Amino acid sequence: MPETRKYGSIIAEIQKEQEQPPAVVRTLLPPKPPAPPGKRRDPSYEQKGVYLKTESVAKANARLAARTDKTDFSDLIQALLDAWLFTPE
């Protein structure tokens, strides 16, 4: 059993190191704020499928990209739908 003695000391060292708590210096960083919830997880939003002309969507997306605010396509459609709903019949 020469192999047991040869590797026994190595195994004993590993076990000894595992028994001691690791000496890790933790840096105190502020906790990362949670990511703002997106529309996908917001229960007040619902995903719908609609048929729109490809050319119209491309032009709308180009106009939205040129804007400085963060309006996206769904915000545009929501604003248009709200405007239509709040007009008198």
Identify the residue with better confidence: 13 or 87.
87
- What are the tens digits of pLDDT across the range 42-85? 889 999 999 999 999 999 999 999 998 888 999 999 999 999 99
Asked whether residue 31 is domain-assigned, the answer is no
* Number of domains the chain is built from: 1
Residue 59 lies in a domain: yes
Residue 12 scores a pLDDT above 60: yes
Q: How far is CA 77 from CA 27, 29, 50, 57, 73, in A?
A: 46, 41, 11, 11, 6
Per-residue tokens: 56: 């119209």
Q: How confident is the model at residue 46, as a pLDDT? A: 93
Query: What is the overall mean pLDDT for the chain?
Result: 83
CA gap 40, 24 in Å, rounded? 39
65 within a domain of the structure (yes/no): yes
